[in-house]
Structure 1
């Protein structure tokens, strides 16, 4: 019975395959590739501390595509979502849910650099088009770069690559660096060290504490004793607000200038209060960027989502714009990979942050703005670095 049943199954399957092959012959390959919907997977944090960032990125992606009639290269879209929980240990498993189970054509994610490393592995193994709307981990566009992986945000050292010359120009030639001891902190320090020493500055001490520890007091006491001209740092989120408040409470505000990667003051100015006043940062965006493009974007986003956009919303929006340019270039046929990648690598993105282009290693070449906190706002006071590119060290596209 088992043999007979198996034989029937084989014959039935064979007939089905022949039928499928026959019907395929009747449809030209080009039109077949464009039938059905483009499957877009979103792998973002929808729970935990990073959930607001995931929502802002998704809002931005959808807004960009909705402005084009909700289609990519003339094709409808089917959306798939996975909460990555900001958990690196689930990165590969969650990425595979979208790639193997849902068979997505495009994977958009994520925020957390540790989770991104899992996505990167799946993207490189499967060849699925992968767009990074935030995670700045260097390997993604350096040693583990791939033709099918594009980042629309920044590398972790890009904002701090713009800090050094600015600080020296303002007469701050002796600095202390402080951050968490983890990958993003190390990579942010790489950018600061390179730019500051190149500009003639001296780093008199490098201080660190375990992530996500926020007991800053002992290190602030050490900074006070060292008497540097300035402190440069990498902290983000509520921890950044606490650092600025503790810095002020330790009596350092007004005596020692405080600088940081722009994430220090993103989304936390209300929490930091007056302690943030006068803090200078460098980043590829600011809410207060006074351009018609940014004002239009902010107005439309606020109308659509009943909330104010931030840098994460802009990065999501630009991810959508990049995907649109690629899909339009191949008329929705994402199987035309060489043409798709060529269009995306050559794209000029007309972004709320200002126009930017894609480097050969698929990381944005973009302006970094110098911002100062005034009256609860990151006010742009100039361009700290024009068309700044990540070096893409160790990238071999192959």
Structure 2
């Protein structure tokens, strides 16, 4: 009994010491580099709200460390990305970078993070190179690779009997890579992409390309757009009369956070993504309730990715009791953790990309509702990653 009391006393002393140690440290500086204006503004706000919600649920601290936020609007502009990220790294001396949405901007962030050995957690941008040739021990993603939802939808489209498909997207990294993933999955299911269409980001003049789709008469169309661009494309596709004859598919970003604005034009659309609004699990239900109470809005995949970025950071900080000087141990813990996400549990691949279920969802009302698992525990190929 005395031995048991001694063990309890030692454990209490260790816990108290860790708490005092964390409390004695300065606030952890978190640099949020997200779009707060333009096409992706709503996405950036949801990511930040998700991140802050997890911190709030932990009492405003992670592993005993107060959080101090620094914000930069990246404007979804790759030409400004290096200057913007250096404001956070060199001016504000942040401990961790969190961002962004636009893949072109994220590529510049990853290069800067790698050059300066700054911890970077990416809560959206799926640029394949980030967990491919640009992978690094200090770079993590809490979202997806562009290849993942595209590949899964290619599998689904082939399973639904389609043989000829066309693709349409913006001409930038995210568009090219998700289309490539779709083509790979579609080919595996016996289909062929007969033509790829694209237009410059953030151009939303779709009419000429929709006319070409109508002339080609493919069995299906795979489209990648997000935010305001997705709203206009889905409405234009419907207005052109194409929905009645040529099924439209896409990764979840085509309808995530946009259903209310898309209205009837989006109803029934099938998309693939690592999250569905109505996943009926205790974890997701609790998350959605907490988010709704805090922000008076419904959570979406962007909020989930921001929330999980904070969870991932917390896992690393907890492993070192808030002491970020124990860098290697912190990064190791982040790479080995299993995140209990609203989307379902996921682990990190060796390249630091989530290994996760990709769901088939259907747009109903203002929700992207779960239909089935399209591909279970899909890992990105991470081609070119050497760590």
SS in structure 2 at match of 1:197? helix
Q: CA deviation at 1:347?
A: 0.9
How far the C-alpha of 1:109 sits from its partner, in A, is: 1.4
| Equivalent residue for 1:187, pick from 163, 168, 177 | 177
User: Would you say 1:93 and 2:93 are equivalent positions?
Assistant: no
Q: Residues 140 and 353 of structure 2 are in contact (CA less than 8 Å); yes or no, is this contact kept in structure 1?
A: yes
Q: How far apart, CA to CA, are the structure 1 residues paired with 2:217 and 2:22?
A: 68
Partners of 1:385 and 1:365 in 2: CA distance: 11
Structure 1 residue 364 and structure 2 residue 354: aligned? yes
Residue 222 of structure 1 is aligned with which of 212, 217, 223? 212
The 1:189–1:150 alpha-carbon spacing in structure 2 relative to 1, beyond 3 Å, is same
Deviates more, 1:104-113 or 1:73-82: 73-82
Q: Contact conserved, 2:100 with 2:124, CA < 8 A, in 1? A: yes
The separation in 1 between residues aligned to 2:39 and 2:222, in whole angstroms, is 25
Question: Does structure 1 conserve the Cα–Cα contact (< 8 Å) formed by 2:22 and 2:322?
Answer: no
How far residue 260 of structure 1 moved from its aligned partner, in angstroms, is 0.7
Which of 18, 22, 33 does residue 43 from structure 1 map onto?
Answer: 33
2:197 aligned with 1:207: yes
- Name 2:263's counterpart in structure 1: 273
76-85 vs 287-296, greater mean Cα deviation: 76-85
Q: Residue 251 and residue 315 in structure 1: after superposition, are their counterparts in 2 closer, same or farther (change >3 A)? A: same
Residue matched to 2:302: 312
Q: Is contact 1:84–1:115 with CA below 8 Å preserved after alignment?
A: yes
Q: Deviations over 1:47-93 (max 9, x none)?
A: 33322222211111111122222222222222222222322222222
**2: CA distance, partners of 1:227 / 1:192:** 19
After superposition, residues 1-398 of structure 1 pair within 5 angstroms as: 35-397=25-387
CA contact (8 A) 1:34 1:332 kept: no
> How far off its partner does 1:251 sit?
2.2
What displacement does 1:117 show?
2.2
1:293, distance to aligned residue in structure 2 (A): 1.3
Provide the secondary structure at the position in 1 that maps to 2:72.
strand
Relative distance call for 1:106 and 1:301 in structure 2 (3 A) is same
Q: Which moved more, 1:221-230 or 1:166-175?
A: 221-230
Q: Give CA deviations for 1:251-303 in whole Å, capped at 9, x if unaligned.
A: 22222211111111112222222221221110111222222211111111111
Q: Distance in 2 between matches of 1:376 and 1:133?
A: 23
Q: Aligned partners of 1:213, 1:39: CA distance in 2, in Å?
A: 36
The alpha-carbon deviation at position 396 of structure 1 amounts to 1.2
Alpha-carbon separation, structure 1, partners of 2:154 and 2:71: 40
- CA apart distance, 1:343: 0.6
Segments ≥4 residues shifted beyond 6 Å: none
Instruction: State the partner residue of 1:14.
Output: none
Q: Give 5+ residue unaligned stretches, structure 1.
A: 1-29
Partner of 1:16: none
Over 3 Å counting, the alpha-carbon distance change for 1:250 and 1:45 in structure 2 is closer
In the TM superposition, what is the alpha-carbon distance from 1:312 to its structure 2 partner? 0.9
Higher deviation after alignment, 287-296 or 217-226 = 217-226
Cα distance 1:208–1:92, how it changes in 2: closer, same or farther (>3 A)? Answer: closer
Bigger-Rg structure (1/2): 1
Moved more, 320-329 or 169-178: 169-178
Q: Which segment is superposed worse, 225-234 or 294-303?
A: 225-234
TM-score, normalised relative to structure 2? 0.90
Change (3 A) 1:161 1:34: farther
Q: Which moved more, 1:207-216 or 1:183-192?
A: 207-216
- State the superposition RMSD in angstroms: 1.9
Q: Structure 1 pair 203/304, CA: closer, same or farther in 2 (3 Å)?
A: same
State the TM-score, normalizing by the size of structure 1: 0.88
Unmatched segments (≥5 aa) in structure 2 = 1-19
SS of 1:43's partner is strand
Q: CA deviation at 1:304?
A: 1.1
